[in-house]
Amino acid sequence: METEQKLAEKEIKIRAKDRIIAWPRMGRIDIPLKALVQSLGAKVVIPPANSNEALELGVRNSIEGICLPYKLNLANYMMALDKGANTLMMFQAPGSCRLGNYTKMAQKTLKQMGYKFDMVIFDMYKSKMVQTLQAFWHVTHCLNPYCYYKGFSLGFNKLFAIDTAERLLFYTRPRELNKGDAEKCYHKWLRIADETNSVRKAKRLKKQVIEDFKKIPIDKDKKVPKVYLIGEFFVLLDPYTNQNIEKELGEMGVEVQRQIMFSDWLEHVLKPSIFYKKESHRERCVKYAKKYMKRAIGGECIETIGDTVYAAKHGIDGIIHISPFSCMPEIVAQNILPKVSKNENIPVLSLVLDEQTGKAGYITRIEAFIDLIKRRQQKYAI
């Protein structure tokens, strides 16, 4: 009896309606998740955007050898808890890399620091949709199926709209006539997507975004070098960590293309395989990477290699590969990339990011790389 009581005491019980939910930042996932959780009737807290302050907080409280994304995640949790959150949500994908250990470690660290919270974790490995629904049921106790429909529909449509806006932003930025137009348009649509509250309106978002971007005056005949941005998922999506590389490249007059988009990935992961007919990004990567890699080894290694081969075969001028320091799958990718670059005849620049990356040196390397690509283009033009 005693032990049972103790156990009950140990577990922090939070009633569903008292829950205030938070999750770590990753790209723009905050907008769709907020829509989902709010339509299920729970409160949310969104941690402030990643910044030097957040990173410092994360670095101070985590071990030395862990990778950069964890440090930022931990800081997000802490900031959200300080703002009043009591439930943390996080997905995990075991069998990938250290990502599977994040939640375990974060829980331990936060408890040691004296925070009181409940962490809800859902696996992204087989039967994902069921687990995801279970997790959301656990935090909201919402039984109304319409709410789930509304939440997921809102979330997905917003996500698609945001990703479309991002893709168009990449296309428009190097070509725009008035500097800053595309950026403004993108931020406007982020705000509108966040404010949209009905499924009908959310479904129209994507079309509206495309139309609005068409209105921006651009120089259509401008010759723009195209660069693929590949590498580790988190670093690619988080503008703070990658030092806003997309913007820097866009302003240099380079069109960036990113194959890893949140909506694609989430759709592939969550949709039951019967409804998912088209070839997913991962399948395509496995197909293209076959010459160099025979098996997936976790993380985004095979995507990195597959995308590089794909890019070389589809007229892309260069590859920029970014990864956090000591990322295990990306180190394997880095080892393989030189051979791919040589065999497929495509220039590759590998950049490793950590909390001490200096922006000036980083930009110099990118500039040199872009110069190389431009000169190469001239050479082939002759």
Partner 1 sequence: MKDTLRYKKIGIPRAISYYNNYPFYYGFFKSLGLEIILSDKTTTAIINSGTKYVVSDTCLPVKVYAGHVVNLLEKGCETIFIPSIQSTDYKINNCSKIRGLPEIIRNIINKPFTIIEPTLDKTEGLGFYDFWTETANALGIKDQKTIKNAVDAGWKIYDDFMTMTNSGVSYNEALQNAIEGKLLKKTVDIVKPLSVVIMAHGYNLFDERISLNLIKKLEKMGVKVYTSLNISREQSQEALKKLGEIQYWANELELTGCAAHYLLNKKVDGIIALSAFGCGPDSLMVDEISHHCKEKGMPLIHLTIDEHTGEAGFITRIEAFVDMLMRKKRNTLIQNAKPKAKADIINIKKEKILTGSAK
Residues at the site binding partner 1, with contacts judged by CB under 8 A:
63-67, 94-98, 100-101, 104-105, 108, 125, 292-295, 297-299, 301, 325-326, 328-329, 331-332, 334-336, 338-340, 350, 352
Q: How many CB atoms lie within 10 A of CB 105?
A: 16
Measured at the alpha carbon of residue 95, what is the angle toward residues 50 and 85, in degrees to the nearest 5? 35
Residue with smaller CB distance to partner 1, 94 or 180: 94
Distance (Å, whole) CA 318 – CA 344: 11
Considering the complex, state which of residue 163 and residue 330 has its C-beta at the smaller distance from partner 1: 330
Q: Which is nearer to partner 1, 278 or 339 (CB)?
A: 339
Give 277 or 295: the residue with its C-beta nearer to partner 1.
295
Which is nearest to 282 in space by CA: 228, 272, 299, 271? Answer: 299
CB of 151 to partner 1, least distance (A): 29
3-class secondary-structure state, position 162? helix
Q: Which is nearer to partner 1, 296 or 363 (CB)?
A: 296
Minimal distance, residue 320 CB to partner 1, in Å: 16
Nearer to partner 1 by Cβ, of 62 and 172: the residue is 62
CB 377 within 8 A of CB 317: yes
First to last CA, the chain: 85
User: In what helix (H) or strand (E) does residue 68 lie, and over which residues does it extend?
Assistant: helix 68-82
Tell me the closest approach of the beta carbon of residue 300 to partner 1, in angstroms. Answer: 11
**For partner 1, which is the closer residue by CB, 38 or 326?**
326
Determine how many CB atoms are found less than 10 A away from the CB of residue 11: 9
Question: What is the smallest separation between the CB atom of 243 and partner 1, expressed in angstroms?
Answer: 19
Cα separation of 77 and 87, whole Å?
A: 10
Check: CB of residue 85 under 8 Å from CB of residue 22: yes
Closest distance between partner 1 and the C-beta of residue 335, in Å?
5
Look at residue 324 and give its three-state secondary structure: strand
Name the minimum Å distance from CB 329 to partner 1. 4
Determine the Cα–Cα distance for residues 77 and 200; give it in Å rounded to an integer: 33
By C-beta, is 101 or 127 nearer to partner 1?
101
Minimal distance in Å, beta carbon 10 to partner 1? 13
Angle between helices 281-289 and 301-313 (to 10 degrees): 80
Q: How many CA atoms lie within 13 A of 163 on its CB side?
A: 20
Quote the least distance from Cβ 377 to partner 1, whole Å.
27
Torsion of CA 305, 309, 310, 314, to 10 degrees: 150
Spatial distance between the Cα atoms of 241 and 324, rounded to a whole number of angstroms: 9
